[in-house]
Structure 1
């Protein structure tokens, strides 16, 4: 398949990135301030090992903060903190943020942290999380952010794997209608990890007025020093940036869904700075004077790349939001933030928009706010169903881009590059590949079958773009086994999909979500597209359940829009009819379960595998990343009300 050519400027850019790779990325590296400027683009050491800008040295924190201050922009806003939980709103300038970070870097230095040491960060969505991350980068330490509120067992396995010298935490986090105390969880995690044998020497605690608990409550338990953040900061000497090699790790980030054996993605420093810098300019069209609201958490890759590092490397303003899309206090929360701070970009997950659509399908709350500054909405984390895409696209009147990337890649594999040109949007598509990501469709044997309309495994030719993972922490072989062995010469994304005739990629779901009905392979994404077209359905998930005759059959789980009242049997009949009209009877679709909520991770991914295991009566383990464990109990209860239409039924019930 030739290079996609959907526009005017994009083909020129993507062609140059392929045909003159070295010059392309050395030019991109000019946007970064280097201690030692690289003269080489990439060192391909083996089929499974490569390093970007191998002779370069830099400091990522310096690039995110100091250079903007030195350029005379120190008074401009770097970070805006907006907490729907406490009502706090604060703007922190580049100079102020640099000073906070330098002082806390001094705290870490005083605690014995040196370049290459690991620091585990377990904090809520407060400015301290950003400060701690950047402070680690400032002295060359490797941070590992763990989503605040993770269970003690899950925190323990990450401690055991990363072996941090210091843990930075808070007295706790705030959720709607509840307080989550972190310190008992940290204490228990340290016990599980072996106390001093874990390698942890110090726990630094930031007190929070709204949450009980402090470092003093734990004294020096287990031979580990528990210290108060504010007290240490008062006597610390600010630390200067420490240059590191481009290939030196910036952070370890554990992929969502890991359980007993964590998989820590290792991100480099130089490649990440270059890749993110390119993405902010060319994909987001973002730079100094611009504001971005990324509705995510710093515990996820979206938070790392597009709350913290990306916007600050680009010299813009980033919004850190502590709250939810609905319920804090209403479904207009996102619109309030965009309006209040004049944000140019919104980056969020499709599940957040579906939550808003469920509560406010007519976008009544949107009318209360001035969103004239908004230029685009970018989505990631879960496939965007076309119905919700049309709803938000029509409602906001700006480009809505369902771009696609992964924890492992660090930034976008496919997107609509608004900084190059605004390509036509297509509902259900993640748009087109970005430089550095040679995206191919391969069959089960790894043969390249890339052609319009041909569905298969989505794989990326090696090496991956600057900023993608270097490996898995502590296990080179696990990196190969997890990503590189399925299709030699390629990185296996774990997703299935196809290109259309214009070179747009359609990611139809995880390969695990492809179901086999009597020998016919069906994408659950295609089935979900059909169900979301029903006017009563807010959100849905389709899974393949065991069938004695066909091997598998499709089963649907749907949530309803706010205020919708339906007769279950009528809704089931309508959905069955719709699937048969659009997909055909081969789907063997007849089971419909109405649920209050779908089980999801905190990053918005629906737990389809867990749902399938429950329905099929298999043993299952609820992932630590689940947003609300009580949803599983409600799902099991709802299964008793599943409506099963007769296999031959194909009726239309008037509404």
Structure 2
């Protein structure tokens, strides 16, 4: 591909040429004659005159190329003790059959299908089946509470909902059907049918508008691929963790397919016949892009894993999967590795497996602290690559582009903006900030292919949420800086920058200092209201498994450590050792919930929380008013 500098410069100086060339990696029914249509700016459209089918690119073309017997998808479920492997030919046939079942239920081009499922192969089958017939899927994370599911049903107005009888979280079996029934009861929009996959762990009682998955497929005529416009929506994915009506991020067919196919080579260095293990959930953007679509578009083998990194049955499950399936690239969240490190700080479990095929570890979803980076790098002796992106962007904004040219790593930075992403750091009035100065991270328009073109049925909210703060720029909502070498440092969400007595301080910088302590497994810093200083930081740390240090001694050391690293201005005088931090099921720490409780608000427990008992345990600590200093 040439050097990173050459490729990046070409993507910004001649985007039309750059992306039309990238589009040659995709099979088109009608190849596009131009890449970008900006006539409706700020609503930009990619490959406006192209027509294609995303499912054909993900499955059929590999079968037609003679690789039908290559493994396409592996389902590994330690929570059920089952494993299944689908070849490209078998997965195509499963998808075509379910696409036929949807067609028989009246689902066609442009109709929406909500998918509310656990980490089972049928979730990917349902997604690809929608893509096959030109329907628009909207995957809702399995286990979302009925009110959250109901508002998504009302916004997407699906003709059909596809679900399962239950999901499994650790040792808990969670019946989905009662949650789905309640959501439909709450929703104003009523889907015509629900297709339910029966799982043996808890079968569901079906109602008059419900269909068993197997019965729906039985006798259905396999559906062929329906070519659609490149600008047609492929899916809607709702952002999580927001209040009020969720934002339905739209992903288009053509731009997304081109961007993901290109990123598999350039960013993840995964090609046909190689294996990628992305330990996420299909309900999140990482699952959409790098469990389902990205690896299959590249002709690789993808692993769909049902379970947690620890406790199923031990902290060695990721190593087992990597060894057993000869994984080349592993992709997960830093939280997962902090959990593994907490349970196995010396990495003894990794030593039990043959990891010689593992070439890269990619981490994203939240900030990669330098200590987790160091631990993983020393343990695996392979490149550990941070990458930063969002639900809205669909693929990484900033990463170390190992498929183009690997760059030296700077701990704490996901490295460089990827081709197509013109990343800037600006101050409150939109002025460019000098190297090393923290500010709002923005991206110059137009966004590259694969990023959201708008929100579902809400162009005005798209502009208000992302394009109105700084003219000509997309607002990421993250803060940080770019150093003199061009490395991007993402320090946290804009609202994680706190104002202490007139000093704007990044909680990310404080977390970086806390995480460097040898006894700390993971940490979190939040800003809480203070009558004198406006806000003050409070730190919460979880110690490594086996640590026998006195908690008060460690807390005192951590306060001193932040003072040494950042200075007295940080005013971090309150650090508490806690047994665990509250997280979503995708591994993100619930900082907003923690801030609300600490500020005395009656914060409800979010439906996305992984273990509600952790929040209840933390409430007394968060609400105590006798903070030091």
Deviations along 1:309-330, one digit per CA (max 9) or x if unpaired, are 0000000000000010000010
TM-score normalised per structure 1: 0.94
Task: Provide the C-alpha distance between the structure 1 equivalents of 2:607 and 2:30, rounded to a whole number of angstroms.
Answer: 42
Quick one: which of 166, 181, 188 aligns to 1:187? Answer: 181
Match of 1:299 in 2: 283
Other structure's SS at 2:537 match: strand
Cα 1:642/1:314, change in 2 over 3 Å:
farther
Query: CA separation in 2, counterparts of 1:279 and 1:567?
Result: 47
How many angstroms does 1:418 deviate by?
A: 0.9
Q: Distance in 1 between matches of 2:266 and 2:572?
A: 43
SS of corresponding position for 1:49: coil
Superimposed CA distance per residue, residues 247-271 of structure 1 (whole angstroms, 9 cap, x where no aligned partner): 0000000112134311110000000
Equivalent residue, structure 2, for 1:261: 245
Residue 272 (structure 1) aligned with residue 256 (structure 2): yes
Deviations 1:448-467 (A, max 9, x none): 22x32121100000110100
- For the pair 1:33 / 2:17, whether they are aligned, the reply is no
Deviation at residue 602 of structure 1 after TM alignment: 1.8
Q: Is the 8 A contact 1:145 1:253 kept in 2?
A: yes
Give the Cα separation in 2 of the matches to 1:211 and 1:465.
Answer: 44
Post-superposition offset of 1:621 = 3.7
1:54-78 deviations in Å (ceiling 9; x for gaps): 0000000000000000000000000
SS at match of 2:388: coil
- Counterpart Cα distance in 1 of 2:331 and 2:131: 24
**1:611-634 CA distance string (max 9 Å, x none):** 111111124343332222222111
For the 8 Å contact 2:96–2:129, the answer to whether it is kept is: yes
1:388 aligns with 2:382: no
CA shift, 1:116, in A, is 0.3
Kept in 2: contact 1:558–1:595 (CA 8 A): yes
- Structure-2 residue corresponding to 1:206: 197
- SS for the counterpart of 2:194 is strand
| SS of equivalent residue, structure 2 residue 216 | helix
1:340 match = 324
SS of 1:144's equivalent in the other structure is strand
Partner of 2:350: 366
Q: Is the aligned partner of 1:588 residue 2:579?
A: no
Q: Deviations over 1:173-217 (max 9, x none)?
A: 1121210000011111110014xxx1400000111111131xxx2
Aligned to 2:418: 434
Q: CA deviation at 1:565?
A: 2.6
Q: Secondary structure at the match of 1:409?
A: coil
1-side partners of 2:426 and 2:261: how far apart? Answer: 30
State the partner residue of 1:626.
Answer: 609
| RMSD between aligned residues | 1.3
Gaps of 5+ in 1: 1-6, 648-655
Q: Displacement, 1:86? A: 1.1
2:67 corresponds, among 62, 73, 87, to 73
What CA deviation, in whole Å up to 9, does each residue of 1:440-479 have, x standing for no partner? 0011112222x32121100000110100001111111010
Listed as ranges, the matches of 1:145-160 within 5 Å are: 145-160=139-154
Farther-moved stretch of structure 1 (171-180 vs 297-306): 171-180
Partner residue, 2:539: 556
- Does 2:79 align with 1:88? no
Moved more, 582-591 or 94-103: 582-591
The CA deviation at 1:429 is 0.2
**Which residue of the partner structure matches residue 509 of structure 1?**
492
Cα distance change, pair 235–8 in 1 and its aligned pair in 2 (3 A): closer
Q: Which runs of 5+ in 2 are unaligned?
A: none
Distance 1:355 1:241 in 2: 42
Calculate the TM-score normalised by the size of structure 2: 0.98
